[in-house]
């Protein structure tokens, strides 16, 4: 695709990257776009994001007239992603209907489990500004506040339960291998090691600022998960027989295995 862009003389390429492209980083202060984009070892998602960004580095060197923009958002939430995120990250056995009561009984805590989120509408606004403007380079896209286990537990009336990182890794690996849920240990590795990001460059050069805070975006997502919200697009589909849904189990389409669509 990059070769086709260069051959056709396309003036700008905007790439959907992620916080996952960064090397392991701090959880007590935000980093800028200058932090190494070499990925988190052990996370295939992160390693693939970093590999694509390395390809973009080569593209920029060879085609200096091409305007390349890379947006690196945090966790992206919206109500219509309820079914998708349940399928991709929780699987068919998770009791997501309980979220309609606004409660999460137990929240695992670890000092490294600090993550950033942003609403899909605000991400869309950032993409529009990147496409229509003249900016180049990478931009972090995230909203406040930082989502910590303590914050989530407080707002969803739950109890925090300290869990060591090795226990999280082993639990994810065993339940994934048993096909009880779709998240392998690499996602735990990413959650523990992805750095916190500063969106100062996006605010300054793109004129971007989130209209929805991260906690509100999370609450909206939980409503979507409990209500089974979806759209007609393949990633957001509500089809009952997809992997990660109860109907998928009946057709031997186990979570975390095969084509997710």
Tell me which residue has tokens 């060591």.
164
In what helix (H) or strand (E) does residue 222 lie, and over which residues does it extend?
helix 214-227
Domain ranges of the chain: 2-228+236-245
Q: Where are the alpha helices (DSSP H) in 90-184?
A: 120-132, 149-155, 165-177
Whole-model pTM: value is 0.94
- 67 to 15, 98, 124, 139, 194: CA distances (angstroms): 11, 46, 19, 14, 27
pLDDT: which is higher, 103 or 146: 146
pLDDT of 260 > 70? The answer is no
CA distance 48 to 30: 23
**pLDDT above 70 coverage of the chain, percent:** 98
Could you give the angle at which helices 165-177 and 185-193 cross, rounded to 10 degrees? 150
Taking residues 93-116, what's their average pLDDT?
92
Identify whether 118 is preceded by a cis peptide bond (ω within 30 of 0).
no
State both tokens at 145.
């506040």
CA distance 220 to 161: 24
CA distance 256 to 192: 20
Return mean pLDDT, the chain. Answer: 95
Which three-class secondary structure state does DSSP give residue 233? coil
pLDDT of 259 > 80? The answer is no
Q: Where are the beta strands (DSSP E) in the chain?
A: 12-16, 67-73, 75-77, 106-109, 115-119, 137-141, 143-147, 159-162
pLDDT digits (tens, 9 = 90+) for 108-139: 999 999 999 999 999 999 999 999 999 999 99
pLDDT of 261 > 70? The answer is no
pLDDT of residue 254: 82
Query: Residue 253 — very low, low, confident or very high, per pLDDT cuts 50/70/90?
Result: confident
Taking residues 54-75, what's their average pLDDT?
97
Class of domain 2-228+236-245: alpha beta
pLDDT of residue 55: 97
pLDDT digits (tens, 9 = 90+) for 137-181: 999 999 999 999 999 999 999 999 999 999 999 999 999 999 899
pLDDT of residue 243: 87
Query: Residue 50 — very low, low, confident or very high, per pLDDT cuts 50/70/90?
Result: very high
């Amino acid at each position: 695709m990059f070769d086709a862009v260069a051959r056709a003389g396309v003036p700008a390429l905007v790439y959907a990257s992620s916080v996952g492209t960064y090397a392991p980083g701090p959880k007590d202060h935000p980093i800028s776009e200058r932090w190494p984009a070499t990925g988190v070892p052990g996370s295939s998602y992160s390693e693939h994001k970093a590999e694509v960004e390395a390809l973009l580095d080569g593209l920029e060197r060879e085609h200096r007239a091409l305007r390349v923009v890379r947006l690196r958002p945090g966790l992206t939430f919206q109500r219509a992603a309820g079914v998708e995120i349940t399928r991709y990250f929780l699987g068919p056995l998770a009791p997501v209907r309980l979220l309609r009561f606004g409660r999460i009984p137990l929240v695992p805590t670890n000092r490294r489990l600090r993550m950033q989120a942003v609403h899909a509408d605000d991400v869309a606004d950032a993409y529009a500004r990147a496409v229509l403007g003249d900016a180049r380079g990478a931009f972090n896209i995230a909203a406040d506040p930082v989502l910590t286990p303590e914050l989530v537990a407080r707002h969803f009336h739950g109890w925090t339960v300290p869990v060591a990182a090795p226990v999280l890794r082993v639990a994810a690996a065993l339940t994934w291998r048993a096909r009880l849920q779709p998240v392998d240990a690499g996602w735990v590795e990413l959650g523990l090691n992805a750095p916190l990001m500063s969106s100062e460059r996006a605010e300054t050069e793109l004129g971007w600022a989130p209209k929805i805070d991260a906690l509100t975006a999370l609450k909206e997502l939980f409503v979507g998960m409990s209500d089974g919200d979806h759209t007609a697009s393949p990633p957001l589909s509500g089809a009952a027989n997809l992997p990660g849904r109860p109907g998928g189990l009946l057709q031997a389409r186990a979570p975390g295995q095969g084509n997710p669509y």
